[in-house]
Every structure is written in C-alpha cells, then in structure tokens.
C-alpha cells in the first residue's frame, strides 16, 4: 500500500480509502447489508494496508454505520481512522447535532469519530449550519473527545467551496467529487488546489463516477486504452488519474464485491503522484473527449433520490440510460440495452411512472434534472410498453 500526507496532520493515510456507501446487499434492498461479506471485505482491506474508512448517517438507510461498527470489532478499530458525517439536512439545532452524533457513536461502537464531516454542504446548507453555530458545537465535541477533526463534503460551485474553506480556520480536511470527467465540475481542479494550498487534506469521492468509468467502455474508448504501453482496466485508468495529483490525500472507493477490493488494493499499490506519463495523460484526455460524445450523465449511484413515492427505480434506470448512450451508435447494442431495460425494470417502476413531483431533484447532490432525464428514458425504453 502507498501512503500519502493528510494535510497538516502528522499522519499518513493509505492511498485507497474504503467507502461504505455501496456495500454488498441482499434481496436487491439497499437497507439489507450483507454483513458477513462486508465484514470480510473491510477486514481484508485493513489487513492489506487500508487505514481510512468512510461512512455516513444515511448510507444504506443507517445500516452502513452499524455494519462498519461490527467490522471494526476484534481490534480493527485501532488500526484505522474512521470518518462519518452529520446529516446536515436533518439538523435544526445543536441538540440535533448532539443527538445524531451520540447515535452514530453507538452504531459504530466507538468512543470517538476521528474525522467528522458536515455532509453534502452547498450554499443553502452552509448558511444553515453556520447560523446554528456548528463550529461552536464542533469545538465542544472535540474538547470532549467525541470527534477529533472537522471537515465537510461538498456539492456546489467553486465559489461556494472557497467561501466555506475561508469561512472557518479549523477545517482539517474536505471531501470532493473528482474524476477525469469532472475536472471543472463542482469544486474541480481549482478547488482541489485551493484546499491543498490552505493545508487541508483532500479526500476524493466518485473517482470512477459512481462506477460509470469502470464499466466496459464503447469500442471507441477501448481503442484508446489499447494504445497504451501499460495496460489497465477502465477503473484503474480512472483511479490512477486521480492519484496522479499530488494534492490528493486519499481516494475513496465504494466497493461492493471482494473482487473490487482486491483489484483496487493492487491498483493503489501501483499509485503515485506525478507517475503517469505525458502520453498516458493524453490518452485519458482523448477518452474524456470520446465519452463526451456519448451522453454520459453525471449520476453517481448514490441513491439519495430513492425511495421514490411512485416506486420509480431511478438509479437502475440511469445505469441503463448511460449504457444506451454509450452504445447508441451501434443499432444492435442499442436494442440489446432496450431489451435489458424491459427485463430489469418492472413496468410499475419504470421511468414513465414519474409524476414529476421533484422530490428526487431536491435530494440529488449532483443537481441532475432527474424529471427531464426520466422523461427521455421513458421515451427511449417504454414507448412500446
């Protein structure tokens, strides 16, 4: 495992962090975490050098924290630094902050949270928690030993990101979405460099864009990867691009299978800042340009948009939507994706069941126009239903 500087702290973090947002599940129910397999995966990762575990209050409807807590029994808790997040959209007072943190400590079976994040800050939530004097609360929680360091995860424009960093001197770290398709999206490269210049550790989420950069690419993109002297999977190209940035502290991967764990650990072992060659960086730029022709939408599969009151399976539909656009120039492959939609998405849970209430868009950290996308998905996939 490679290790990297974590901002101003005298501690080195593993290049790969274990993100507990996409744990293996049972019965296709995100609330039913496969605990035995998750524990096996997390402990394997820790045994092979991973020392940063990231979860949140709402992941897997609360069961991510519970399962992570079980995985870190038997001496594993002392081998890692643990991060979780305050559900800022549910907080309306400092009493709420205390209540959620106490609940999280119990779920995680720990006396402290090493890295505590204000979850999903945007302009509105930033104003809200600031007015609630969250920093006063956090400094008390740090003094009590319940949390050790305060940070935030982020989903908004760069100007808001900069305002947040400049708005408090006590930040230790931040967490941003970053991958080779998102250089200028949200905080982007500019935000990455600004945070690092201020001494903050930068944690990266969605390095493979919710898995979309790991799926079998269209032939045109695969042809680009085939040009490389060093052969890599699509997922490793995405990961190595992020690790190539010296400002990055740790890259989170939301791993759902043991195969992903073992492959990502091997990829992390090969990682390093400024290790990609100029020709390899040019290939990644070419791949980006090719993907941009194929309508890749920015759904990361975070599942904040579900459950839908009408039962629409939004994340599953968007996976197929992206596959359709990646293959839309190939008529046979396009029709195969339409067929897959018919088999995977029940008629009562399809895109045309959207009633355009907009609740999903309020929850979407990517601020996707979900209603419009579902309308197009219904036209593509459900015209003949």
* 234 and 321 inside one domain: no
pLDDT tens-digit readout, 152-180: 999 889 999 999 999 999 999 999 999 99
288 and 323 both lie in a single domain: no
Residues 88 and 167 in one domain: yes
With respect to residue 335, please indicate whether it lies within any of the assigned structural domains. yes
Do both 204 and 89 map to the same domain?
yes
pLDDT over 90 at 12, yes or no: yes
Beta-bridge partners for 250: 203
- The arithmetic mean of pLDDT across residues 52-81, rounded, is 96
Within 8 A by CB and 6+ apart from 384, the residues are none
* 304 part of a folded domain: no
Same domain membership, residue 340 and residue 272: no
Last residue of a domain, one of 261, 292, 323: 292
Q: Are 242 and 179 in contact (CB under 8 A)?
A: yes
Q: What Cα–Cα distance (Å) separates residue 276 from each residue in 164, 215, 283?
A: 32, 22, 11
Find tokens 């779920």 and name the residue. Answer: 107
Q: Is residue 297 part of a domain?
A: no
The answer as to whether 305 is a domain residue is: no
Question: Which of 72 and 25 is assigned the larger pLDDT?
Answer: 72
Residues 321 and 279 in one domain: no
Residue 284 has pLDDT above 70, yes or no: yes
306-337 confidence digits (pLDDT tens): 899 999 999 999 988 888 876 665 778 778 88
| CA 281 to chain CA centroid, nearest Å | 23
Report residue 40 as tokens: 């096996």
The model's pTM is 0.81
User: Domain count of the chain?
Assistant: 2
Instruction: Give the helix ranges, DSSP H, for 227-330.
Output: 234-243, 258-269, 278-292, 314-326
What is d(CA 129, CA 91) in angstroms, rounded to the nearest whole number? Answer: 8
Using CA atoms of 357, 360, 362, 365 in order, give the dihedral in degrees to the nearest 10. Answer: -160
Domain-terminating residue out of 292, 327, 346: 292
Task: For residue 93, count other CB atoms closer than 10 A to its CB.
Answer: 11
Q: Are residues 337 and 236 in the same domain?
A: no
Residue 202 and residue 53 in one domain: yes
Q: Return the sign of the alpha-carbon dihedral for residues 244, 246, 247, 252.
A: positive
Q: Which two tokens stand for residue 57?
A: 């209050």
| Assigned domain for 67 exists | yes
Question: How far is CA 372 from each of CA 56, 181, 342, 351, 364, rounded to the nearest angstrom?
Answer: 29, 22, 20, 10, 14
Q: Are residues 276 and 341 in the same domain?
A: no
Question: Does 302 fall in a domain?
Answer: no
Q: Containing domain of residue 191, as a range?
A: 3-292
Q: Identify whether residues 35 and 179 lie together within a single domain.
A: yes
In a domain, 318, yes or no: yes
Radius of gyration from C-alpha coordinates of the chain? 21
Q: What is the CATH number of the domain that holds 12?
A: 3.20.20.100
Three-state DSSP state, 7? coil
Within 10 angstroms of residue 231's Cβ, the number of other Cβ atoms is 9
Q: Are residues 71 and 167 in the same domain?
A: yes
For residues 239 and 340, state if they share a domain: no
Report d(CA 351, CA 253) in Å as an integer.
29
Mean pLDDT, range 355-363, rounded to an integer = 88
What is the bridge-based pairing of β-strands 25-26 and 29-33? Answer: antiparallel
Residue 210, domain member (yes or no): yes
- Buried b / exposed e across 67-87, counting CB within 10 Å, b at 16+? bbbbbbeeebbeebbbbbbbb
- pLDDT beyond 80 at 256: yes
């Amino acid at each position: 495992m490679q290790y990297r500087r974590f901002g101003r702290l005298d501690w080195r973090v593993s290049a790969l962090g274990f993100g507990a947002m996409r744990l293996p599940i049972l019965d296709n129910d995100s609330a039913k975490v496969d605990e035995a397999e998750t524990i096996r995966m997390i402990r394997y990762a820790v045994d092979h050098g991973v020392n940063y575990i990231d979860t949140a209050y709402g992941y897997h409807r609360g069961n991510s924290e519970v399962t992570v807590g079980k995985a870190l029994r038997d001496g594993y808790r002392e081998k890692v630094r643990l991060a979780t997040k305050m559900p800022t959209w549910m907080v309306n007072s400092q009493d709420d902050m205390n209540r959620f943190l106490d609940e999280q400590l119990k779920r995680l079976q720990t006396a402290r949270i090493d890295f505590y994040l204000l979850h999903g800050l945007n302009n509105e939530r930033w104003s809200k928690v600031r007015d609630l004097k969250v920093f006063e609360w956090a400094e008390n929680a740090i003094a009590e030993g319940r949390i050790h360091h305060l940070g935030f995860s982020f989903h908004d424009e760069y100007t808001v990101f900069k305002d947040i960093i400049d708005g408090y001197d006590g930040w230790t770290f931040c967490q941003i979405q970053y991958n080779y398709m998102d250089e200028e999206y949200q905080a982007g490269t500019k935000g990455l460099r600004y945070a690092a210049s201020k001494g903050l550790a930068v944690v990266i989420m969605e390095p493979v864009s919710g898995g979309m950069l790991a799926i079998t690419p269209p032939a045109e993109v695969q042809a680009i990867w085939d040009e490389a002297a060093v052969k890599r999977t699509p997922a490793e190209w995405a990961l190595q691009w992020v690790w190539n940035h010296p400002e990055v502290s740790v890259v989170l991967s939301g791993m759902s299978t043991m195969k992903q764990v073992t492959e990502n650990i091997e990829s992390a072992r090969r990682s390093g800042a400024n290790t990609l060659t100029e020709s390899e960086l040019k290939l990644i730029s070419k791949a980006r340009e090719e993907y941009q022709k194929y309508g890749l939408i920015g759904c990361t599969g975070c599942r904040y948009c579900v459950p839908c009151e009408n039962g629409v399976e939004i994340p599953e539909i968007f996976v197929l939507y992206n596959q359709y656009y990646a293959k839309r120039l190939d008529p046979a492959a396009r029709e195969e994706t339409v067929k897959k939609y018919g088999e995977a998405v029940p008629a009562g849970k399809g895109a045309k069941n959207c009633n355009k209430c907009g609740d999903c868009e309020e929850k979407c950290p990517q601020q996707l126009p979900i209603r419009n996308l579902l309308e197009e998905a219904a036209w593509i996939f459900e015209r003949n239903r």
